[in-house]
Structure 1
Amino acid sequence: MAKVTVSLDAELVVEIMVLSGVGSPQDAVELVVRDYIARGHRTESRTAVRDEALREVDAKPSDTQG
């Protein structure tokens, strides 16, 4: 996998290290980024399930009232 170098504010990185409990700045930032991506995938999955349910309700023919 390709690597990218990014400059971040030292205080921000220290905050990430403290919150994540990881001693390496590289590992701490990588952990936060991976968590953010995983959270996005989980949100997409939940949204897709809800959208599918709404489509099924919309697809059912409604009873005509007379």
Structure 2
Amino acid sequence: MARITIDLDAELVVEVMVLAGIGSPQDAVEAVVRDYIARGHRTETRTEFKDRNLREIDAKPQEPQG
């Protein structure tokens, strides 16, 4: 996997380290990024099922109203 180097505010990184309970700055930031990506995938999965169900409801023939 390719690696990149970025500069971050030290206070931000220390806060992430404390909240995550991880001693290495790189590992702490990597854990946050991985969690963010995983959360996005979970959200996509949930909304996909909801959207699919709504499409199925819309596709069903409607009873005459009135």
> Do these two structures clear the TM 0.5 threshold for a shared fold by scoring above it?
yes
Taking structure 2 as the reference length, the TM-score comes to 0.96
Deviation at 1:65, TM superposition (A): 3.5
Answering whether residue 56 of structure 2 is matched by residue 56 of structure 1, we say yes
Equivalenced residue count is 66
Secondary structure at the counterpart of residue 55 of structure 2 = helix
**Offset of residue 49 of structure 1:** 0.3
TM-score (ref. length: structure 1): 0.96
Structure 2, unaligned runs of 5 or more: none
Q: Which 4+ runs in 1 deviate beyond 2 A?
A: none
Counterpart position of 2:28:
28
Question: How much has 1:64 moved relative to structure 2?
Answer: 1.6
- Structure 1: runs of 5 or more not aligned: none
Identity over aligned residues, as a percent? 73
Shift of 1:37: 0.3
**Backbone CA RMSD of aligned residues:** 0.9
Instruction: Work out the CA distance in 2 between the residues paired with 1:35 and 1:28.
Output: 11
